[in-house]
Structure 1
Amino acid sequence: MTLLSLFATSFGVAFSGAMVPGPMLTVTIDESLNQGYKAGPLIVLGHALVELFLLIGLVWGLNKIIVIPWVQAVIAGIGGLFLLYMAYGILKGAGKAEIDLAASGKGKPGKNIVAKGILVSISNPYFILWWATLGLAYVTIALGKGVVGLGVFFFGHILADFFWYFLVAYLIGESKRFLSTKIYRILLFACGIFLAFLAVQFLYSGFSYVL
């Protein structure tokens, strides 16, 4: 596989994965409604830091640890509880939320949004399992081209995430000015319900690993 094809396939696989609804997309929508377009890149920055850690870990054999059933159960259990906590926070404030265009992009410090990107990534057992399987396969192929190949693979992967989540955040942030308070609250409520649904799924999968 050439470096160009490695980049292209890495971008394509990551982009298709990013488009699948999940915790990160839901949190991006929620943060974009409050913070505007900057939420997307900042969440992906936190996500990228986790992926960089996993990439380095896989090179050093981390995959042998994260495929152990009890480790997956712990990850899924903690992740489910964290998402449940996030869902509670969103649902609690959804009924009283007001659209404040003047405050858009001025709320939470960037580091808080980056931290949320980190937390929502490590709380997703399917994300970690992806890296332990398909991600590991790509790392193996990329290492055939040395450090450069590994860098090209990672750049293509992260670029896809940045592109998609920036697009989502921009569209959500810009559409905010056209939303009524009722629709705004419904969107927040939907985000909370979806996160709660994912939390239950993660908790169930955590139990299934040890049963």
Structure 2
Amino acid sequence: MEVFGLFVTAFIVGFSGAMMPGPLLTVNINESLRRGFWAGPLLILGHALLETALVVVILLGLGKILTNSYVSGAIGLLGGVMLIYFGFTMTRDAGYKKISLDLTGSASIPQKPGRLMLNGALVSLANPYWSLWWATIGLSYLTRSLIVGVFGVGAFLLGHLLADFSWYGFISYLIARGRKHLKQTAYLFIIFICGIFLVVLGAKFIGDGITRLKIM
């Protein structure tokens, strides 16, 4: 597969995966509502740095570890707990009205960009299907990319990351534009629902992790 072909197919596959609802999309919606457009790109920057590091780790020969049922099971358990914590925090803050719709930072970089980047990486780590994707589809792509060489790996990674930035940036833009017309009550309701979604998803991840570990 040529360099350009790797880039295009990686972008298409990555874009289709990014469009699927998941914890990162939920957190992206939450932070974009609270902090404006730049919250989304900063979250994905943390996600991108994590994926770049993972590619390096896989190339060093550690990719097979991710396919181990005990490892994936442990990731499911820990990730589920983390998602439940994120979700509980969101529902609690919305329920007790501890957060408000601040429209002053819509055009500027949000406060604590490092924390947003860290959250992007942590939410990705909390999703066991993220590691499963890299252990299967991602590993397969990397194997084919290595045939082309370092430029092939670079083209694959660039296409994949560009897909994430494109989709999540687009979502952040829409939310940042629309939040100017959003009432405080509706905002709190959206955050509350997003929090419940993360709690339910976290519980599912824990159940899947228990199954992989053959505890039950």
Task: Give TM-score scaled by structure 2 length.
Answer: 0.94
1:154 corresponds in structure 2 to: 157
Task: Give TM-score scaled by structure 1 length.
Answer: 0.96
1:141 aligns with 2:144: yes
1:61 alignment partner, SS class: helix
Aligned positions, number = 211
- Give unmatched runs, 5+ long, in structure 1: none
Could you tell me which amino acid in structure 2 is paired with residue 63 of structure 1? Answer: G
1:111 corresponds in structure 2 to: 114
Choose 105-114 or 9-18, whichever is displaced more.
105-114
2:36 corresponds in structure 1 to: 36
- For residues 99 and 51 of structure 1, what CA distance do their matches in structure 2 show? 31
Could you tell me which amino acid in structure 2 is paired with residue 73 of structure 1? Answer: G
2:3 corresponds in structure 1 to: 3
Which one of the candidate residues 158, 167, 170 is aligned to 2:170?
167
Choose 163-172 or 63-72, whichever is displaced more.
63-72
2:61 alignment partner, SS class: coil
CA contact (8 A) 1:34 1:107 kept: no
Cα deviation, residue 100, structure 1: 2.2
Could you tell me which amino acid in structure 2 is paired with residue 133 of structure 1? Answer: T
- For residues 110 and 56 of structure 2, what CA distance do their matches in structure 1 show? 34
Cα deviation, residue 205, structure 1: 0.7
Which one of the candidate residues 182, 186, 190 is aligned to 1:183?
186
2:54 corresponds in structure 1 to: 54
Which one of the candidate residues 87, 98, 102 is aligned to 1:100?
102
- For residues 173 and 32 of structure 2, what CA distance do their matches in structure 1 show? 8
Percent identical pairs in the alignment equals: 44
- Structure 1 runs (4+) greater than 6 angstroms displaced: none
CA contact (8 A) 2:90 2:192 kept: yes
1:60 alignment partner, SS class: helix
1:89 corresponds in structure 2 to: 89
For 1:72-83, what aligned pairs fall within 5 Å after superposition? 72-83=72-83
For 1:196-211, what aligned pairs fall within 5 Å after superposition? 196-211=199-214
Cα deviation, residue 99, structure 1: 2.0
- For residues 190 and 74 of structure 2, what CA distance do their matches in structure 1 show? 31
- For residues 101 and 122 of structure 2, what CA distance do their matches in structure 1 show? 26
Cα deviation, residue 108, structure 1: 3.5
- For residues 108 and 126 of structure 1, what CA distance do their matches in structure 2 show? 30
- Give unmatched runs, 5+ long, in structure 2: none
Could you tell me which amino acid in structure 2 is paired with residue 21 of structure 1? Answer: P
RMSD across aligned positions (CA): 1.2
- For residues 107 and 69 of structure 1, what CA distance do their matches in structure 2 show? 39
1:20 alignment partner, SS class: coil
